[in-house]
């Protein structure tokens, strides 16, 4: 299967630690998105890339969050000095820029901050 | 501000009955509209989209949705519900012409189909 893959699927960490999530998009997709989803809520936009350029970043994203897509393929989302409020599902999605169509989502990375 | 509203947290329907899950939006320009479904501990799966053209669009698993520009709505429908349709449904919108490629999601509607 060549869908969007995310790693790790689950991460439990202590408050104050740093965590990093990886997303591998569908290979021909040049747009990559990160969303955060908390229980009972819809996905909240965090940021998106077109190729390696980060084109938009949510104001929800504090300075503790950083995302990269260095070669325009996989992406990483790092959270520094985690807080309990960071506990959520982090979703990655990709799409083809020439397409007016849908996002393809990965299974998500669930973060629990103790 | 651009937004999507799903006014119902939960919709209950008997198996075999028609179902409707409501969505309204507020965006500038001509929107691109989407419905996704999410099963427990899974990512979001695409169901259908409206970009342009016929206001009634058909998608996966027998679902369809009707775009109504005057009411700024994009309600999800299915003529005959199945128990396996029980899941969380999200409406999403992407502004068509504002230069952003950000997709905005609603808060979700939980659909329960009762046997």
> Mind listing the pLDDT tens digit for each residue in A48-96?
999 999 999 998 778 899 999 998 899 999 999 999 999 999 999 999 8
CA distance A4 to A74: 10
A36: closest CA among A86, A102, A72, A70? A86
Q: Does A30 touch chain B (CB under 8 A)?
A: no
In this prediction, residues B40-54 reach a mean pLDDT of 90
3-state secondary structure of A89: strand
Option in A31, A42, A104 nearest B107 (CB) = A42
**Interchain proximity B107–A41, CB inside 8 Å:** yes
Neighbours of A84 (CB within 10 A): 9
Q: Does A104 touch chain B (CB under 8 A)?
A: yes
Please check the confidence at residue B99 and state whether its pLDDT lies above 80. no
CA distance A90 to A105: 11
| Whole-number average pLDDT of chain A | 92
B95 Cβ contact partners less than 8 Å away, ≥ 6 residues apart:
B2, B27, B28, B29, B31, B32, B102
What pLDDT is attached to residue A1? 54
CB B115 within 8 A of CB B15: yes
Partners of residue A40 in chain B, C-beta under 8 Å? 107-108
Calculate what percentage of chain B has a pLDDT beyond 70: 97
CB B43 within 8 A of CB A5: no
Partners of residue B6 in chain A, C-beta under 8 Å? 42
**Interchain proximity A33–B42, CB inside 8 Å:** no
């Amino acid at each position: 299967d060549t869908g969007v893959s995310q790693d790790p699927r689950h991460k439990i960490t202590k408050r104050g630690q740093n965590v990093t999530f990886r997303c591998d998009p569908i290979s021909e997709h040049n747009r990559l998105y990160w969303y955060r989803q908390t229980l009972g809520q819809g996905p909240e936009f965090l940021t998106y890339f077109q190729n390696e350029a980060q084109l938009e970043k949510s104001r929800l994203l504090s300075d503790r969050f950083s995302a990269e897509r260095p070669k325009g393929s996989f992406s990483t989302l790092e959270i520094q000095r985690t807080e309990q409020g960071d506990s959520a599902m982090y979703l990655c999605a990709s799409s083809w820029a020439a397409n007016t169509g849908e996002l393809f989502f990965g299974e998500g990375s669930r973060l629990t901050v103790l | 501000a651009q937004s999507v509203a799903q006014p119902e947290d939960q919709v209950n329907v008997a198996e075999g009955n028609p179902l409707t899950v409501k969505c309204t939006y507020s965006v500038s320009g001509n929107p691109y509209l989407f419905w996704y479904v999410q099963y427990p501990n899974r990512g979001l799966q695409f169901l259908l989209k409206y970009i342009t053209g016929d206001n009634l669009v058909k998608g996966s698993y027998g679902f369809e949705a009707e775009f109504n520009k005057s009411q700024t709505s994009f309600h999800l429908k299915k003529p005959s519900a199945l128990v396996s349709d029980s899941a969380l449904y999200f409406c999403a919108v992407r502004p068509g012409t504002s230069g952003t490629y950000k997709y905005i999601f609603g808060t979700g509607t939980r659909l329960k189909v009762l046997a």
